[in-house]
Structure 1
Amino acid sequence: MKSVLALLQFCTSLPLGRPVEFDHFARRSYLYPIAGYVIGGIAAAVVSVIASPVVGAAVALATALVLSGCNHFDGLLDFGDGLMAHGSREKRIAAMTDRTTGAGAVAAGIIVTLIAFSGLQTVAYLPAAILIAEVCAKTAMSYLTTLGAPFREGIHSYLHQFARPWFLVPATLLTLPLFLLPVPPAGVALALAVTAAIVALMLFLSRRLFGGVNGDVVGASNEIVRAGVILLLALL
C-alpha cells in the first residue's frame, strides 16, 4: 500500500496526507496503471452525470489534467519544443529542457488536446473511454520507464535504474480489468496495441533526436497515448 500511495502522490494532485518515501514506488514502476484507474475513474464518475457530449468531453479532459497536476502536460510541451527544434542533438535537448515555451510546445499542446477533445465528443460511451485512455496512458509511462535508456540524470533515470524487463508483464496484466468495461473487447485490445505502437515510436524518436529518454518524454507519452486511444475509440 505504501507503493501505491507513493505512486498516487507522485502522479496526482490528490490530498493524500503525509508524503510517503518515493522509493516505495520507484522500485515498482509497473504500478503506474493504478494511477490511471484512479484518475480515469474519477473523471468517468464526474462525466457520467453530464448529458452533453461536448461539455462532458471538456470536463473529462479538465479533470484528468487537474488530477495529474498538469505535470505530464508540461512534459508534452517540453517534448514539442525539442521535437520542433532545428540543429544538433544538443540544440534539441537545450530546447526541450529550458524554461521557455516555444512554438513547438504550443503546437504540441493544441494538437494533442484537440484530438482528445474532439474524439471524446464522438465515442460511444464517454466514461469508459476516458478510463481506458488514462490506464493506457499510464501503462505507456511504465513501458517507457522500463525500456527508455536515459540521456541525463533526473527522475526518469532514477526510476529506470530500478526497472527490470519483467516489469512489462505486471504493467500489462494491470490493464486486463479494462476488458470488463461495457465496450467491445476488440476495442480494448486495439487500444493496448495503439499504446504499444506509440511507445515504440516515442522510443525511436527519443533515441534518434535526443540520444535517450527523460521525464519530459515519459510525460509526453502520457498525453499522446491518451489522445491516440481516444481517437481510436472514436473511430471504431
Structure 2
Amino acid sequence: MRSIRALLQFCTTLPLGRAADFEAFARRSYLYPIAGYIIGGIAALLAFGIESPVLAAAVGLAAVLILSGANHFDGLLDFGDGLMAHGNREKRILAMTDRNTGAGAVAAGLVVTLVAFAGLQTAAPVWATILIAEVSAKLAMAWLTVLGRPFREGIHSYLHGFARPSFLIYAAALALPLLLLPVPPAVPGMAVAVTGAVVVGMLALSQNIFGGVNGDVVGAAHEITRAAVILVLALL
C-alpha cells in the first residue's frame, strides 16, 4: 500500500496525506497501470451520464488532465520543443529541458489534444474508451521505465535503476482487468498493441534525437499513447 500511495502522489493531484517514501514506488514501477484505473475510472464516471459525445469527451479529457496535474502533459510540451528544435543533439536536449515554451511545445500539445478529443467523441462508449486509454498510457510509462536507457540524471534514471525486465510482464498483467469491461475483447487487446507500437516508436525516435530517454520522453509517451489508443478505437 505504501508503494501505491507513493505512485498516486506522484501521478495524481488526489489529497493523500503526508508524502510517502518515493522509493517504495520506484522499486515497483510496474504498478503504473493502477494509477490509470483510478484516474481513468474517475474520468469515466464523470463522462458516463453525459448524453452528448462532444461534452462527454471534453469532460473526460479535462478530468484526466486535472487529476494528473498536467504532469505528463508538461513532458509532452517539453518533448515537442526538443523534437522541433534545429541543430545538433545538444541543442535539442537544451530546448527540451529548459524552462521556455516554444512553438514546438504548442504544436505538440495541440495536435495530441485535438486527436484525443476528436477520437473520443467518436468512440463508443466514451467512458470505456477514456478508461482503456488511460490505463494504456500508464502501461506505456511502465514499459518505457524498463526499456528506456537514460541520457541524463533525473526521475527517469532513478526509476530505471530499480526496474527489472520482469516488470514488463507484471505491468501488462495489470492491464488484464480491462477484459472485464463491456466491450469486445479485441478492444483492450488492440489498445495494448497500440501501446507497444508507441513505446517502440518513442524508443527509436528518442535514441536517434536525444541519445536516450528522460522523464519528458516518458511523459510525452503517456500523452501520445492515450491519443493513439483513442484514435484507433474510434476508427474501429
The TM-score with structure 2 as length reference comes to 0.99
Correspondence for 1:230: 230
3-state SS, counterpart of residue 231 of structure 1: helix
30-39 or 180-189, which deviates more: 180-189
Cα distance, 1:220 vs structure 2: 0.4
Q: Percent identity?
A: 72
Correspondence for 2:166: 166
Count the aligned residue pairs.
236
Correspondence for 1:66: 66
Cα distance, 1:156 vs structure 2: 0.4
Correspondence for 2:133: 133
The alignment's C-alpha RMSD in Å is 0.5
Unaligned runs of 5+ in 2: none
Correspondence for 1:56: 56
Correspondence for 1:12: 12
Superposition pairs of residues 71-110 of structure 1, within 5 angstroms: 71-110=71-110
Cα distance, 1:183 vs structure 2: 1.1
CA distance in 2, matches of 1:51, 1:166: 42
CA distance in 2, matches of 1:20, 1:233: 36
Correspondence for 1:184: 184
Match for 2:72: what amino acid?
A: H
Cα distance, 1:187 vs structure 2: 1.5
3-state SS, counterpart of residue 100 of structure 1: coil
Match for 1:139: what amino acid?
A: L
The TM-score with structure 1 as length reference comes to 0.99
Match for 1:49: what amino acid?
A: G
Correspondence for 2:208: 208
Per-residue CA deviation, residues 189-235 of structure 1 (Å, 9 max, x unaligned), is 11100000000000001110000000000000110000000001100
Unaligned runs of 5+ in 1: none
Per-residue CA deviation, residues 137-181 of structure 1 (Å, 9 max, x unaligned), is 000000000000100000000000000111001100000000111
Structure 1 residue runs of 4+, over 2 Å off? none
CA distance in 2, matches of 1:198, 1:165: 19
